[in-house]
Amino acid sequence: MAGSSLLALLDDIATILDDVSLMTKTATKKTAGVLGDDLALNAQQVTGVKPARELPVVWAVAKGSMLNKAILVPAALAISYFVPWLVVPLLMLGGAFLCFEGFEKLAHKFLHRQEAEAHKKELREALKNPAVDMKKLERNKIKGAIRTDFILSAEIIAITLGTVAGESMGMQFLVLTVVAIMITVVVYGLVAGIVKLDDGGLYLSQQDNEAVQKVGRGILWLAPYMMKTLSIVGTIAMFLVGGGILTHGLPPVYEAIQHFAQGLGGVPEVIVPTLANGVFGLIAGAILVAAITPLQKLWAARSA
């Protein structure tokens, strides 16, 4: 009896782990837009930090990220248990925020380019000034990165919660915990690799072997373009994921897209809904930016 009970327990554990793995995979696919943006934003946070301090800064932000998720996961479970009807509105809010943030990035890039350049120049000048407190600058960067991470982590947790909202509390806890830990490790592991990529390229380019030198020079050439690529891919994914969340929450829109795609058949039937979600996300982002930006400016003017 004891032996069969143990085997039954092991089988249950294996089934649970398989379910967690499957739902974690689904949840991480849905959070791809946030993940790409999270990666790009956090890698940019070490700009202006001395090379020797880059990894300690990344580690400090990673610890802050885990603390953020330690707060957000129980909060998400409490919402799921006490006010489950709030899960869908929160999910829609997260999708809307993704679209808003994605379009705001596009608008800022094309409409506020001079402001961005002025900020970079101001930062470079500050770093040349010996009177600048580098420790204070580093602490401010870490605090800013952790605040950014909190917003992005909240989006990830909300999207994940929407994926597993119909499951038991135990399953929700397992999936949320696995996603939180996995995404933190992946994001900040990649950030650490990216910020040290140029150092690795420089080291290889100084070796005696000519083939190794070429690899090092290739890495040095590639490094500046990686962040741009991550930012572009992250922005596109934000519209696809955010738009997908919004269309799923609006049955008439979702049904119209599916009905149109079904009439195409083949590969277009698979691709068109994704593209339609992205276009819907882009339009939603434009509307939200047009509506919210004047309110932000008004709030800033009244607070000044």
Q: Is the pLDDT of residue 285 over 90?
A: yes
Residue 67's contacts (CB-CB under 8 Å, 6 or more residues apart) are none
Q: What is the pLDDT of residue 275?
A: 93
Task: Tell me which long-range contacts 14-21 makes (C-beta under 8 A, separation of at least 24).
Answer: 16/171, 16/174, 19/171, 20/171, 20/174, 20/175, 20/178
Q: For the residues 261-271, what does the mean pLDDT come to?
A: 82
Q: What confidence tens digit (pLDDT) does each residue in 131-168 have?
A: 555 567 667 777 777 777 787 788 788 878 877 877 88
Residue 4 resides in a domain:
no
Identify the residue with better confidence: 197 or 271: 271
Residue 71's contacts (CB-CB under 8 Å, 6 or more residues apart) are none
Indicate the number of domains in the chain: 1
Residue 212 resides in a domain:
yes
Q: What confidence tens digit (pLDDT) does each residue in 5-55 have?
A: 333 433 443 444 444 444 445 555 555 555 555 555 555 555 545 556 667
Cα–Cα dist 251/139, whole Å: 46
Residue 241: band (very low, low, confident or very high) from pLDDT cuts 50, 70, 90: confident
Residue 298 resides in a domain:
yes
> 166 φ, ψ to 5°?
-85, 0
Q: Which residues of 246-277 are buried (b: 16+ CB within 10 A; e: fewer)?
A: bbbbeeebbeebeeebeeeeeeeeeebbeebb
pTM for the predicted model, two decimal places: 0.69
Residue 91 resides in a domain:
yes
Residue 14 resides in a domain:
no
Residues 239 and 33 sit within 8 Å (Cβ to Cβ) = yes
Least confident of 16-20, 101-105, 208-212: 16-20
Residue 21 resides in a domain:
no
> Which domain does 267 fall in, by range?
30-303
Residue 7 resides in a domain:
no
Q: What is the pLDDT of residue 67?
A: 93
Instruction: Assign 194 to helix, strand or coil.
Output: helix
Q: What is the pLDDT of residue 15?
A: 43
Residue 106 resides in a domain:
yes
